Structures are given as structure tokens and as C-alpha cells.
Amino acid sequence: MTTGVRTSYREAIRSALREALQRDPRVFVMGEDVGRYGGCYAVTKGLLEEFGPERVRDTPLSESTFVGAGIGAAMNGMRPIVEIMTCNFSLLALDQIMNNAATVSHMSGGQFSVPLVIRMATGAGRQVAAQHSHSLEGWFAHVPGLKVVTPATLEDARGMLWTALEDPNPVLIFEHALLYNAEGELPADAGPVDIDTARVRREGRDVSIVTYGGSLPKALAAAEELAQAGVQAEVVDLRTLRPLDTGTIVASVTKTHRAVIVDEGWRSGSISAEVTARLVEHCFYELDAPVRRVCSAEVPTPYAKHMEDAALPQVADIVAATQDAVSTVA
């Protein structure tokens, strides 16, 4: 591994996009404002000037149209990267994603594949109200035929795209909008990373905090605070929500015997609910306390800053839930 370079989550994704465009002439980027404007979150800034309008395509404001076009292009040998501004808008293309991209391989008996990558911002915390702030990745993780990944680190932001483009089936990449400005060291030789396994981001012995995406920095901050109080929390980054890496989760909880799941989605029918169910199925007798969940309040995301903060999982909420889990005996 070579010396790291200081960069941001946004720049790591842009670097991955640039490399994909350089490496494979079948790759092109399409979406609303990805070209001349440089992307809603400036991720694609400069790529139009570098690669031209055939490779970086601005589209009409019609998610169903350009996602459908991406599916068609993928089925005809291209490697499209489709950007949807926010996951809330992905619902306008739900028919294309669920009834077409996810099913074509199955319904054709494997004769056709859809090597499509869809990138979209997810999550709240920016005061952009209920139509631009929700975390819907758990909805798509419910659908067979899709792979759903949630990069939370610079390495994953840089490396997951490479691996996703090599997958013969559709891959949805959910990028938490609050991570775009996050900075850190990225190895100069950073390359592809797997999109199949969870990672233990912090070792611990007392309790497992299981999370993903934009909640990972909060979980790590909570673990640091808990360590000051003598509680050693292990932090597991799910990374991929479908397929879910049950083995890594179970191994961690088997070691610590307690679990706290942090999920910015709503509690009902959530990723946190699925992880809880798998823990009950696979290691129920290893649990020394009930599983705790820290999720968003079941309301449309508020606009007002103090209300939005109150509706979302925060470090203090994770600390409190973890302390409760550690102090409780089943």
C-alpha cells in the first residue's frame, strides 16, 4: 500500500467515475444535471469537459425515462452509470428498477443480464425537508435481483464502483449526502473492493453496534465516548444490504453477546428489523440482553433544524441504547 493522499468522499467517487470512463469505452454517465452543472452534489464536476457529451449525458427531469434508457443500454452491451439526485426520486423509476432491471435475468432464464449501476444520494441532516431526506435503501434491499451497497468510507466510495461495474446484474449504490464533504486519507493505489461482505471497523468485547452508511461515523463516535466509560463496543459496518452478510454480524454478536443496531431508516420493516430477525434466527442463545434499535422517528423528515435532529439517530441516542444493552440481563 502506498502513501495515502488527502481527499474527500465526493472526490473519491469522482476519481472512481473518471477511472471507469477511462478504462472502459462502454461506460457512460447519465442523469439530471450530471454534465454542464456538474451533478447535484458536484460529484461529476469536470467530467463533461474531460469526456464529452456522449460519455456524460444530461437527461430530462424524468427518472422513469432515463433509468429505463439505462436498462436498455445495459442489455445491449453498454455499462451505464445512472445518477438519481436523491433516493426519494427513485420512486419515480420504481417500475423500471423493480419490474425490469431486477427481473430480466430471471424472466429470460439467464439469457439477458442488466449490468447497470445506479448511484443515488440518501439520508437526512441537511434541512431539505421530507421530499429529499429519507433513507429508502431498505426498500430496495427487499427486492431479489438487486444488489444494494452503502459505502461509508473513502475506500468503499472509491472501490465499490469498480466492482459494481463488473457485476452482470444491477447494483444500487446509496451515498449518504452528509458524507460527501467527509475527508480522510485514501491510499494512492486504492483499487476495487468487494461488495459482498461486512467489515468490523472497531474491535470490542462488550457489545456490537451494527450500522451502515451515514450512521457509521456516529457509531464510531459513540464507541469512542463509550470507551471513556469503560465499555468496549465493536462497530460492524454492513456495507452491503443485499446480500446481507449474516456471518460477520453473527460472529460479532457471538463474541460480545449484545447488539445495538443503528439505522437511519424508519423502524418498521427496516434493515434494523431484518438484522434483528437474523440474530434471533442464528444466535438467539448467544444474546445476553434484548437487541436494541436506534432508528429515525416514524414521521416525514422535518425541515426545522432542531426537529430534524430530534428525528434522526444521534450519537447520544446510540450511547444511551448501548449503555442500556450493556446494563441489562436477558
What residues pair up with 28 in beta bridges, in sequence order? 80
pLDDT for residue 174 is more than 70: yes
pTM here is 0.96
Is residue 306 part of the annotated active site? The answer reads no
Q: Which residues are CB-neighbours of 222 under 8 A, at least 6 positions away?
A: 209, 233, 315, 318, 319, 322
At residue 2, does pLDDT exceed 60? no
3-state secondary structure of 5: strand
For 327, other C-beta atoms within 10 Å of its C-beta total 10
pLDDT at 84 over 60: yes
Query: Is 106 an annotated catalytic residue?
Result: no
Alpha-carbon distance 239 to 237, whole Å?
6
pLDDT tens across 3-52, in order? Answer: 678 999 999 999 999 999 999 999 999 999 999 999 999 999 999 999 99
What pLDDT is attached to residue 3?
A: 67
Catalytic choice (11, 32, 63, 264): 63
Q: Work out the percent of the chain whose per-residue pLDDT is above 70.
A: 98
pLDDT at 218 over 90: yes
Report whether pLDDT(328) > 80.
no
Phi, psi of 66 (to 5 degrees): -80, -25
pLDDT over 90, % of the chain: 95
Task: State the catalytic residue, choosing from 11, 32, 83, 132.
Answer: 132
CA dist 185 and 154 (Å) reads 8
Note the pLDDT of residue 1.
44
Ordered domains of the chain (ranges, CATH): 4-187 (3.40.50.970), 199-327 (3.40.50.920)
Query: How much is the pLDDT for 4?
Result: 79
pLDDT at 190: 84
pLDDT digits (tens, 9 = 90+) for 275-327: 999 999 999 999 999 999 999 999 999 999 999 999 999 999 999 999 999 99
Torsion, Cα of 64, 66, 67, 68 (10° steps):
80
Among residues 189, 195, 191, 201, which one has the least CA distance to residue 174? 195
Of 132, 122, 173, 121, whose CA–CA distance to 150 is shortest?
Answer: 173
State pLDDT tens for residues 88-112. 999 999 999 999 999 999 999 999 9
Q: Nearest 5°: phi and psi at 188?
A: -65, -25
Residue 156 pLDDT greater than 80, yes or no: yes
Average pLDDT score over the chain:
96
